[in-house]
Amino acid sequence: MSYNLDNGIRRVSYLSTNIKNFIEPILKCDGKSIEELIKYIHVSKDTFKSIVKRLPGVKIDNNIIIVDNSLELILYGLKLGLPVKRLSRYINWRDFEKVSAKILASHGYNVYTNVLFTRPKRLEIDVLGIDEGTGRTIVIDCKHWKHGISPSSIIEVGRRHIERVKNFLKYMSWVSRKYPLINKVKYAIPVLVTFTTPKIRNVDNKLIVLSIGELNNFLSDLYIVLEELGIKPISLEDQPRKDKELFI
Protein backbone atom coordinates (compact mmCIF):
# COMPACT_ATOMS: atom_id res chain seq x y z
CA MET A 1 0.00 0.00 0.00
CA SER A 2 1.40 3.40 -0.99
CA TYR A 3 0.09 6.84 -0.15
CA ASN A 4 0.79 10.52 0.03
CA LEU A 5 -1.02 13.24 1.93
CA ASP A 6 -3.51 15.52 0.22
CA ASN A 7 -5.53 17.92 2.40
CA GLY A 8 -4.92 15.68 5.40
CA ILE A 9 -6.47 12.60 3.78
CA ARG A 10 -4.41 9.57 2.90
CA ARG A 11 -4.36 8.82 -0.81
CA VAL A 12 -4.40 5.05 -0.77
CA SER A 13 -3.79 2.60 -3.59
CA TYR A 14 -5.66 -0.52 -2.57
CA LEU A 15 -4.43 -3.81 -3.90
CA SER A 16 -7.27 -5.29 -1.88
CA THR A 17 -10.28 -3.70 -0.22
CA ASN A 18 -9.13 -4.21 3.38
CA ILE A 19 -12.06 -2.79 5.29
CA LYS A 20 -10.00 -1.28 8.11
CA ASN A 21 -8.24 1.05 5.67
CA PHE A 22 -11.51 2.89 5.07
CA ILE A 23 -12.34 3.75 8.67
CA GLU A 24 -10.10 6.77 9.22
CA PRO A 25 -10.88 8.38 5.83
CA ILE A 26 -14.60 7.95 6.56
CA LEU A 27 -14.21 9.63 9.96
CA LYS A 28 -12.39 12.52 8.29
CA CYS A 29 -15.03 12.88 5.58
CA ASP A 30 -18.13 12.78 7.76
CA GLY A 31 -20.74 15.03 6.14
CA LYS A 32 -19.01 15.10 2.76
CA SER A 33 -20.05 13.50 -0.51
CA ILE A 34 -18.90 10.09 -1.67
CA GLU A 35 -17.18 11.74 -4.64
CA GLU A 36 -15.03 13.87 -2.33
CA LEU A 37 -13.79 10.75 -0.56
CA ILE A 38 -13.27 8.32 -3.43
CA LYS A 39 -11.02 10.74 -5.29
CA TYR A 40 -8.54 10.07 -2.48
CA ILE A 41 -9.29 6.37 -2.19
CA HIS A 42 -8.86 4.45 -5.40
CA VAL A 43 -12.02 2.36 -5.41
CA SER A 44 -15.23 2.64 -7.36
CA LYS A 45 -18.35 4.25 -5.94
CA ASP A 46 -20.17 0.91 -5.89
CA THR A 47 -17.28 -0.77 -4.07
CA PHE A 48 -17.22 1.99 -1.48
CA LYS A 49 -20.98 1.68 -0.90
CA SER A 50 -20.65 -2.07 -0.36
CA ILE A 51 -17.87 -1.46 2.20
CA VAL A 52 -19.97 1.08 4.10
CA LYS A 53 -22.70 -1.54 4.48
CA ARG A 54 -20.20 -3.72 6.36
CA LEU A 55 -19.15 -0.98 8.77
CA PRO A 56 -20.99 -0.08 12.00
CA GLY A 57 -21.92 3.50 12.84
CA VAL A 58 -21.84 4.89 9.29
CA LYS A 59 -24.33 5.22 6.44
CA ILE A 60 -24.84 7.00 3.13
CA ASP A 61 -27.77 9.38 2.81
CA ASN A 62 -28.39 11.16 -0.51
CA ASN A 63 -24.79 10.50 -1.53
CA ILE A 64 -23.48 12.04 1.73
CA ILE A 65 -21.34 10.08 4.19
CA ILE A 66 -22.96 10.19 7.63
CA VAL A 67 -21.10 8.92 10.70
CA ASP A 68 -23.99 8.61 13.14
CA ASN A 69 -22.07 6.65 15.79
CA SER A 70 -18.38 7.54 15.68
CA LEU A 71 -17.57 5.58 18.83
CA GLU A 72 -19.03 2.36 17.44
CA LEU A 73 -17.01 2.81 14.24
CA ILE A 74 -13.83 3.60 16.19
CA LEU A 75 -14.20 0.60 18.48
CA TYR A 76 -14.63 -1.58 15.41
CA GLY A 77 -11.43 -0.09 14.01
CA LEU A 78 -9.57 -0.92 17.22
CA LYS A 79 -10.74 -4.53 16.96
CA LEU A 80 -9.31 -4.64 13.45
CA GLY A 81 -5.94 -3.41 14.72
CA LEU A 82 -5.93 0.30 13.90
CA PRO A 83 -3.70 2.37 16.24
CA VAL A 84 -5.36 3.92 19.30
CA LYS A 85 -3.36 7.13 18.90
CA ARG A 86 -4.78 7.77 15.43
CA LEU A 87 -8.40 6.92 16.17
CA SER A 88 -8.66 8.70 19.53
CA ARG A 89 -8.48 12.10 17.82
CA TYR A 90 -11.98 11.51 16.43
CA ILE A 91 -13.72 11.06 19.76
CA ASN A 92 -14.30 13.18 22.85
CA TRP A 93 -15.62 12.65 26.35
CA ARG A 94 -19.13 13.69 25.31
CA ASP A 95 -19.25 10.64 23.04
CA PHE A 96 -18.31 8.49 26.02
CA GLU A 97 -21.15 9.93 28.06
CA LYS A 98 -23.72 9.44 25.31
CA VAL A 99 -22.74 5.83 24.66
CA SER A 100 -22.49 4.97 28.37
CA ALA A 101 -25.94 6.48 28.95
CA LYS A 102 -27.38 4.57 25.99
CA ILE A 103 -25.96 1.27 27.25
CA LEU A 104 -27.31 1.85 30.76
CA ALA A 105 -30.75 2.69 29.39
CA SER A 106 -30.75 -0.49 27.29
CA HIS A 107 -30.38 -2.46 30.55
CA GLY A 108 -33.41 -0.77 32.11
CA TYR A 109 -31.68 1.95 34.10
CA ASN A 110 -33.10 5.44 34.44
CA VAL A 111 -30.24 7.65 33.31
CA TYR A 112 -29.08 11.14 34.21
CA THR A 113 -26.01 12.78 32.69
CA ASN A 114 -23.89 15.64 34.00
CA VAL A 115 -25.45 15.54 37.47
CA LEU A 116 -24.23 18.70 39.18
CA PHE A 117 -24.14 19.60 42.87
CA THR A 118 -23.27 23.18 43.78
CA ARG A 119 -24.16 23.01 47.49
CA PRO A 120 -23.16 22.11 50.14
CA LYS A 121 -20.27 20.45 48.29
CA ARG A 122 -19.49 20.84 44.60
CA LEU A 123 -19.76 17.54 42.73
CA GLU A 124 -20.23 16.54 39.12
CA ILE A 125 -21.12 13.05 37.93
CA ASP A 126 -20.78 12.16 34.26
CA VAL A 127 -23.40 9.41 34.05
CA LEU A 128 -25.79 8.11 36.70
CA GLY A 129 -27.91 5.01 36.13
CA ILE A 130 -30.61 4.13 38.67
CA ASP A 131 -32.52 0.86 38.79
CA GLU A 132 -35.82 2.03 40.23
CA GLY A 133 -36.86 -1.39 41.51
CA THR A 134 -33.72 -2.38 43.40
CA GLY A 135 -32.12 0.99 44.13
CA ARG A 136 -28.95 -0.25 42.43
CA THR A 137 -27.06 2.72 41.03
CA ILE A 138 -24.18 2.80 38.56
CA VAL A 139 -22.04 5.93 38.88
CA ILE A 140 -19.77 6.37 35.86
CA ASP A 141 -16.75 8.60 35.45
CA CYS A 142 -15.73 8.76 31.76
CA LYS A 143 -12.02 9.08 31.00
CA HIS A 144 -10.90 9.74 27.45
CA TRP A 145 -7.25 8.82 27.86
CA LYS A 146 -5.64 8.75 24.42
CA HIS A 147 -2.60 6.84 25.61
CA GLY A 148 -1.97 4.10 28.11
CA ILE A 149 -2.00 5.23 31.72
CA SER A 150 -0.06 3.70 34.59
CA PRO A 151 -1.79 1.54 37.22
CA SER A 152 -0.81 4.05 39.93
CA SER A 153 -2.56 6.85 38.03
CA ILE A 154 -5.66 4.71 37.53
CA ILE A 155 -5.73 4.01 41.27
CA GLU A 156 -5.41 7.72 42.06
CA VAL A 157 -8.25 8.66 39.70
CA GLY A 158 -10.33 5.73 40.93
CA ARG A 159 -9.98 6.77 44.57
CA ARG A 160 -11.14 10.28 43.73
CA HIS A 161 -14.21 8.81 42.06
CA ILE A 162 -14.92 6.59 45.08
CA GLU A 163 -14.90 9.70 47.27
CA ARG A 164 -17.15 11.45 44.76
CA VAL A 165 -19.65 8.58 44.99
CA LYS A 166 -19.58 8.62 48.79
CA ASN A 167 -20.26 12.36 48.77
CA PHE A 168 -23.05 11.82 46.26
CA LEU A 169 -24.73 9.43 48.71
CA LYS A 170 -24.27 11.92 51.56
CA TYR A 171 -25.69 14.93 49.75
CA MET A 172 -28.07 13.45 47.18
CA SER A 173 -31.17 14.93 48.85
CA TRP A 174 -29.91 18.35 47.76
CA VAL A 175 -30.60 17.55 44.11
CA SER A 176 -33.58 15.21 44.49
CA ARG A 177 -36.01 17.86 43.26
CA LYS A 178 -34.11 18.20 39.99
CA TYR A 179 -33.42 14.45 39.73
CA PRO A 180 -36.42 12.85 41.50
CA LEU A 181 -35.40 9.21 41.00
CA ILE A 182 -32.34 9.82 43.16
CA ASN A 183 -34.67 9.16 46.10
CA LYS A 184 -34.73 5.51 44.95
CA VAL A 185 -30.97 5.03 45.39
CA LYS A 186 -29.99 2.38 47.96
CA TYR A 187 -26.43 1.53 46.97
CA ALA A 188 -23.92 2.64 44.37
CA ILE A 189 -21.29 0.97 42.19
CA PRO A 190 -18.50 3.34 41.11
CA VAL A 191 -17.30 2.66 37.56
CA LEU A 192 -14.39 4.18 35.66
CA VAL A 193 -14.91 3.91 31.88
CA THR A 194 -11.87 4.29 29.62
CA PHE A 195 -11.23 4.22 25.88
CA THR A 196 -8.90 1.22 25.86
CA THR A 197 -8.64 -1.96 27.93
CA PRO A 198 -7.35 -0.94 31.38
CA LYS A 199 -4.27 -2.42 33.03
CA ILE A 200 -6.09 -2.91 36.33
CA ARG A 201 -9.73 -3.68 37.11
CA ASN A 202 -10.23 -3.14 40.82
CA VAL A 203 -9.55 -0.10 42.99
CA ASP A 204 -9.77 -0.73 46.75
CA ASN A 205 -12.51 -3.36 46.25
CA LYS A 206 -14.98 -0.53 45.66
CA LEU A 207 -14.56 0.51 42.02
CA ILE A 208 -14.34 -1.35 38.72
CA VAL A 209 -12.37 -0.10 35.70
CA LEU A 210 -13.74 -0.96 32.24
CA SER A 211 -13.23 -0.03 28.64
CA ILE A 212 -16.27 1.42 26.89
CA GLY A 213 -16.45 -1.74 24.80
CA GLU A 214 -16.85 -3.87 27.95
CA LEU A 215 -19.61 -1.89 29.64
CA ASN A 216 -22.51 -3.77 28.06
CA ASN A 217 -21.21 -7.22 29.07
CA PHE A 218 -20.43 -5.96 32.56
CA LEU A 219 -24.03 -4.85 33.05
CA SER A 220 -25.31 -8.17 31.71
CA ASP A 221 -23.21 -10.16 34.22
CA LEU A 222 -22.91 -7.50 36.90
CA TYR A 223 -23.12 -9.59 40.06
CA ILE A 224 -20.87 -12.33 38.67
CA VAL A 225 -18.19 -9.79 37.72
CA LEU A 226 -18.38 -7.96 41.06
CA GLU A 227 -18.06 -11.23 42.96
CA GLU A 228 -15.12 -12.44 40.88
CA LEU A 229 -13.27 -9.15 41.38
CA GLY A 230 -14.21 -8.82 45.04
CA ILE A 231 -15.89 -5.45 44.57
CA LYS A 232 -18.50 -4.42 47.12
CA PRO A 233 -21.04 -1.70 46.28
CA ILE A 234 -21.15 1.36 48.53
CA SER A 235 -24.32 1.27 50.61
CA LEU A 236 -26.39 4.34 51.37
CA GLU A 237 -26.85 3.06 54.93
CA ASP A 238 -23.08 3.16 55.51
CA GLN A 239 -22.78 6.85 54.63
CA PRO A 240 -23.56 9.67 57.09
CA ARG A 241 -26.46 11.53 55.48
CA LYS A 242 -26.29 15.28 55.01
CA ASP A 243 -29.92 16.03 54.26
CA LYS A 244 -30.82 19.44 52.98
CA GLU A 245 -33.24 20.02 55.83
CA LEU A 246 -30.37 19.95 58.31
CA PHE A 247 -28.84 23.02 56.67
CA ILE A 248 -32.01 25.10 56.56
**CATH for the 3-90 domain, from 1.10.1660, 3.40.50, 1.25.10, 1.10.10:** 1.10.10
Q: From CA 120, how far away is CA 140, in angstroms rounded?
A: 22
Residue 138 and residue 190: Cα distance in Å, rounded? 6
Sequence-distant (≥ 6) Cβ neighbours of residue 13 within 8 angstroms: 1, 2, 3, 42
User: Residue 124: what are its φ and ψ, rounded to 5°?
Assistant: -140, 130
Residues 71 and 95 sit within 8 Å (Cβ to Cβ): yes
pLDDT at 147: 64
For residues 196 and 178, the answer to whether their CB atoms sit within 8 Å is: no
Answer left, alpha or beta for residue 62, where phi above 0 means left and psi between -120 and 50 means alpha. left
Burial 192-209 (b: 16+ CB within 10 A, else e): bbbbbebeebbbeebbbb
Per-residue pLDDT, 240: 64
Task: Quickly count: other Cβ atoms within 10 Å of residue 158's Cβ.
Answer: 24
Q: What distances in angstroms separate CA 82 from CA 15, 18, 21, 146, 212, one per listed residue?
A: 18, 12, 9, 13, 17
d(CA 7, CA 13): 17
Distance of CA 94 to the CA centre of its chain: 8
Q: pLDDT by residue for the chain (248 residues), tens digit each?
A: 333 334 443 444 443 348 888 999 999 889 999 988 887 777 888 888 989 999 999 999 999 999 988 888 888 887 888 877 777 778 777 777 888 898 899 999 999 998 888 877 788 999 999 999 999 999 999 987 766 678 899 999 999 999 999 999 988 888 888 888 999 999 999 999 988 788 899 999 999 999 888 898 999 999 999 999 999 999 988 766 555 544 44
Contacts of 33 (CB under 8 A, 6+ apart): 63, 64, 65
How far is C-alpha 202 from the geometric centre of its chain's CA atoms?
18
pLDDT at 36: 87
Residue 20: the pLDDT is 86
**All CATH 3.40.1350.70 domain ranges in the chain, comma separated:** 93-247
- Distances from the Cα of 64 to the Cα of 31, 41, 52, 205, 238, angstroms: 6, 16, 12, 48, 55
Alpha helices in the chain (DSSP H): 23-28, 34-38, 45-52, 70-79, 84-87, 93-106, 151-171, 215-220, 222-229
Give CATH for domain 93-247: 3.40.1350.70
